[in-house]
Amino acid sequence: MAVIQIDKDICTGCQECSKVCPVYAIEGNPHEPQTIVTERCVMCGQCVQKCKSYISLLDHGVACYAQKRRERNLPDTVTEPLFAAYNVSHLDEVIKALQDPAKFTMVQAAPAVRVGIAEDFGLPLGTLAAGKMAAALRRIGFNKVYDTNFTADLTIMEEGTELVKRVTENGVLPMFTSCCPGWVKFIENTHPELTKHLSSCKSPQQMAGAVFKTYGAKLNGVDPAAVFTVSVMPCTCKAFESDREEMQDSGYKDVDVVITTRELAYLIKKMGIDFSSLPEESFDQPLGEYTGAGTIFGVTGGVMEAAIRTGYTLITGKELSDVDILPVRSTEGFRTADIIAGDLTLKVGVLTNLKNIDPIIEQLQAGTLNLHFVEVMTCPEGCVSGGGQPKLLMDTDRPAAYENRRQATFDHDKALPLRKSHVNPAITKIYKEFLEKPNGKLSHKLLHTKYKKG
């Protein structure tokens, strides 16, 4: 089943979805139901965010609304308008696992979720709610509440090591980030010969799943077969990513179910949890410990900035004194920067919104993209603007929401005591006790992947 669908019973053909689709995967005549071309779709969910056609209890009645809610496997407590473009929900699988005493449930939450989730409970746009989110997940009943930020730090260790190796050993350059599954799917679909430029690192979500069912199971003294992993993501394409056949390096499906930020809000409401009144709680340790570098993965340029903070040390053996890498912080198109790291000038690029990718692909094919490392994010401003984030009913709210979520992310980074991935003590611990070293034999087996080449 496709991750993103358009309900032809509801779609009015306003074509707002086709205008925002970065890969032109939505077709149809004006004022008629639109169709998703699944071969082109990268499941980013921007159409879900933009869709204006809906049914509601008030306008369409209880019976019609209830039928559509059942078709989408949504809890009975959901009463908000249901839009034509939507992502397929797997909440029922999460609820079933939580009720199964034979399952040991582990949950992870992505960086951008904590600056979006509170909006669905009436709090201001971009409210940072990391502590309340951890408390909510614990009250929902998960056995362990971990954090994708931890494996964002782990990703930097693996990806940074890979980049240094490529730069110093004449490897394939430029290297592109691989943490955005929409971008990965796009390049596999359209330019499979260029997948050699992708980092071999899995995304933080998939690294977490593999770690949870190996090292995490060992830490908790449970049978890996009993571990059920849930991811809370701002991204609708993460569900597709978790279902990829190669994502089973733990010996099991690494991530069992992915739900979006919106779906977590549905679940919190179904459980009768008063989100606003929850106390601030911490994530479980050690797989919930993270640095500021991990949390900025949620904004465009954040992966690059986190990589530079650690890459500088990997290249020079020294610590970077000023970790705010302002040249890579932007929300517009494509920008480049030169980063001085000892005797090396590291040439980097950051691309925002997959709609801007074509000129970059053309330069790459022509051999004129003179860069070492490039970050690509499919969504307009990175994960904070993901298709699974709280839906913004008014387009006029979009700029403020994105800016507030982005600023909250950087504020969170600045407030944390540690801001570089390689100084995270939990990262040191996992290498010492389990993985041994970045890009080593075990870490390569669990934390890296291969791509489809046509």
According to DSSP, the residues that pair with 6 across neighbouring strands are 85
Q: Which residue in 202, 383, 385, 421 is the catalytic one?
A: 383
Q: Which residue in 44, 47, 179, 237 is the catalytic one?
A: 179
- In this structure, the number of other CB atoms found within 10 A of the CB of residue 373 comes to 26
Question: Which structure tokens are listed for 26?
Answer: 């939505």
Instruction: Respond yes or no: is residue 421 known to be catalytic.
Output: no
Q: Which residue in 238, 269, 347, 420 is the catalytic one?
A: 238
According to DSSP, the residues that pair with 26 across neighbouring strands are 36
Q: How many CA atoms lie within 13 A of 378 on its CB side?
A: 28
Instruction: Respond yes or no: is residue 19 known to be catalytic.
Output: no
Q: Which residue in 246, 280, 433, 436 is the catalytic one?
A: 246
Between CA 266 and CA 289 the distance in angstroms is 26
Between CA 429 and CA 21 the distance in angstroms is 42
Q: How far is CA 337 from the centre of its chain?
A: 24
According to DSSP, the residues that pair with 229 across neighbouring strands are 106
Residue 433 phi/psi, 5° resolution?
Answer: -90, -20
Q: Which residue in 16, 119, 162, 289 is the catalytic one?
A: 162
Are the C-beta atoms of 278 and 127 separated by less than 8 Å? no
Instruction: Respond yes or no: is residue 179 known to be catalytic.
Output: yes
Q: Which residue in 18, 89, 178, 199 is the catalytic one?
A: 199
Instruction: Respond yes or no: is residue 159 known to be catalytic.
Output: yes
Q: How far is CA 161 from the centre of its chain?
A: 22
Are the C-beta atoms of 335 and 348 separated by less than 8 Å? no
Angle between the N-to-C axes of helices 148-168 and 204-211, in degrees from 0 to 180, rounded to the nearest 10: 110
- Please list the helix, strand and coil fractions of the chain in percent, rounded to the nearest 5, in that order: 45, 15, 40
The region, left, alpha or beta by phi > 0 then psi within -120 to 50, assigned to residue 141 is: left
Are the C-beta atoms of 24 and 55 separated by less than 8 Å? no
Question: Which structure tokens are listed for 337?
Answer: 């920067």
Instruction: Respond yes or no: is residue 319 known to be catalytic.
Output: no
Instruction: Respond yes or no: is residue 241 known to be catalytic.
Output: yes
Instruction: Respond yes or no: is residue 180 known to be catalytic.
Output: no
The residues, ordered by sequence, that sit 6+ positions from 273 with a Cβ below 8 Å of its Cβ are 136, 139, 140
Q: Which residue in 119, 158, 241, 381 is the catalytic one?
A: 241
How far separated are the first and last CA of the chain, in Å rounded?
22
Instruction: Respond yes or no: is residue 270 known to be catalytic.
Output: no
Which residue blocks in 147-255 are alpha helix, DSSP H?
148-168, 181-190, 204-211, 217-220, 237-242
Residues designated as active site: 159, 162, 179, 199, 238, 241, 246, 383
